[in-house]
Amino acid sequence: MTEILLIRHPETDLAGTFCGHSDPPINAAGQAQLEALLETLADAKLEAVYSSDLERAQTLAAAIATAHRVPCTARPALREIHFGDWEALTWAEIERRSPEQAAAWLANYPHQPTPNGEPFGDFQARILDELDRILGTPQERIAIVTHAGVIRSFLTVRSQIDEQTAWTLTKPYCSLTRFTPQPGDRATMKVRAC
């Protein structure tokens, strides 16, 4: 594998909430981000596209695959972390509804899951196992359309970049991180956000 394009999904109407396994469609801003990203990727010479099975990622993945005439494979293990009772809530709503739980979660993150949510260790193991399976395929250049938390975890573990840098790289919707695996060395990364 010579290059992996790690792409965050476009914006939805749940932007600004804890949107893990919630499944909203992209909104008008997200559609514009999708179109801009397709232009950016026009000469990418992709061989395959992999994606989370949630609609916001699938919409972009299908558009990329169609534009490049390559297969598109949905992988449920590429979903964002499940936020349990906090799904689709803003931080202000969470603090208002359960201030003690919110404070405890902040103090103990990532060791304490959200109420009825997926433990971070389980999430990280799930997505890293899945990404390793994908990286074991014979394609040279692929796109993976997924979620910010998935990309952040991959970058911090596989390229040993710090959390703040990973956060900055993945914050924009439709952010694009070019990851070049280099055995025994840190990854080379180029980033462009739409």
As annotated, the active-site residues are 9, 80
Q: What type of residue sits at position 30? A: G
The answer to whether the CB of 91 falls within 8 A of the CB of 98 is no
Q: Collapse the DSSP code of 46 into the 3-class scheme (helix H, G, I; strand E, B; otherwise coil) and give the result.
A: coil
Specify the length of the chain in residues: 194
- How far from chain centre, in Å, is Cα 10? 10
The answer to whether the CB of 30 falls within 8 A of the CB of 193 is no
Of the candidates 147, 160, 159, 150, which has an alpha carbon nearest to the alpha carbon of residue 129? 150
